[in-house]
Amino acid sequence: MRRYAPLIKPIERNCSVTIPLDDTTGRDTDALLVHLGACRSLGRELLSPLSATLASTLPDWTIGRLAHHAQQAWAFIYVHAPARMSLTAEQILHWQAAIVSAIPAASAGPSVKLSRLQRQLEFAGASSEQTPCAHYVVETDAEAGWMPEIARWYEVEHLPGLASAPGCVRAFRYLNHDHGPESLACYDLTTEEALSSPAWLAVRATEWSSRTRPHFVSTRRTMFRVIDPSPAAVG
């Protein structure tokens, strides 16, 4: 397990996060989340210009997980920094504009959103040697005053517990500094059915979970299909 330094003052919000145009404060960033809307598929015609733009705009960064939800027409693409760095909203908006201009099919309306992610936790899963086929994401804000307790629950019990369930390849938790909800927990899974295993359900049914989960706000749970970025897979 890798732990990352928490924020000095946990952010407490009752609404999803957006990028204020006049925000000049740098935020600790370990990765960027590229959220594509109105994205029916992640084929070569979309991935090729996107990959080229990311490589030229962020030459030292690494494209990580690519995930797609066909019914919602959403795609999540994680781009990892070479090391934790402080990034301002102005930098993010500049890079977001570059992505929009490079992908005409995703440029209509609010179809491209770029968020700074600060990693809080990372656990290797019980099935860490296997290849993931699904990417499960739980995004949530918290009732006022509850985010520190939710963070402690994730660190001490929930994330390590779910990581130990069969079918979990890896489990992460990030803070989303921009297009929220603020807390983003994600799980690479060998199959979607991992969520219905007795071990997974037992972790979700603990007393601490029952006390904590009712204080989630604006929660989104999304099961994505993992996309293989190789040319043979996306062509």
Q: Concatenated DSSP letters for 169-180?
A: EEEEEEEESSSS
Q: What is the mean pLDDT of residues 39-52?
A: 84
> What is the mean predicted confidence (pLDDT) over 144-150?
98
- Closest-CA residue to 61 (of 85, 83, 80): 80
Confidence (pLDDT) at 16? 40
34 φ, ψ (degrees, to nearest 5): -95, 115
- pLDDT reported for residue 104: 59
Element (H, E) at 187: strand 183-189
pLDDT at site 103 = 74
- Please state the rounded mean pLDDT for residues 137-150: 98
For the ranges 16-20, 28-32, 214-218, which has the lowest average pLDDT? 16-20
| CA-based max dimension of the chain | 49
Q: Is 90 exceeded by the pLDDT of residue 92? A: yes
Average pLDDT over residues 192-210: 98
The answer to whether residue 106 scores a pLDDT higher than 50 is no
Range in 64-78, 101-115, 139-153 with the lowest mean pLDDT: 101-115
> Percent of the chain, pLDDT > 90?
71
**Tokens describing residue 117:** 């992610």
User: In the prediction, which pLDDT does 23 show?
Assistant: 64
Given a cut of 50, is residue 13 above it in pLDDT? no
The whole-angstrom distance between residue 123's C-alpha and the CA centroid of its chain comes to: 15
Predicted structure pTM score: 0.87
1 within 8 A of 124, measured Cβ to Cβ: yes
For residue 116, count CB atoms less than 10 angstroms from its CB and return exposed for 0-12, middle for 13-18, buried for 19 or more.
buried
pLDDT of amino acid 6: 32
Q: Is residue 2 over pLDDT 60?
A: no
Q: Which CATH architecture has domain 25-229?
A: 2-Layer Sandwich (3.30)
Whether 117 has a pLDDT exceeding 90, the answer reads: yes
Please, which pLDDT band fits residue 3 given cuts at 50, 70 and 90? very low
Q: Which long-range contacts (CB under 8 A, 24 or more apart) does 153-158 make?
A: 153/208, 153/209, 153/212, 154/120, 154/121, 154/183, 154/185, 155/3, 155/120, 155/121, 157/203, 157/206, 157/208, 157/209, 158/185, 158/203, 158/208, 158/209
Grouping H, G, I as helix, E, B as strand and the rest as coil, residue 18 is coil
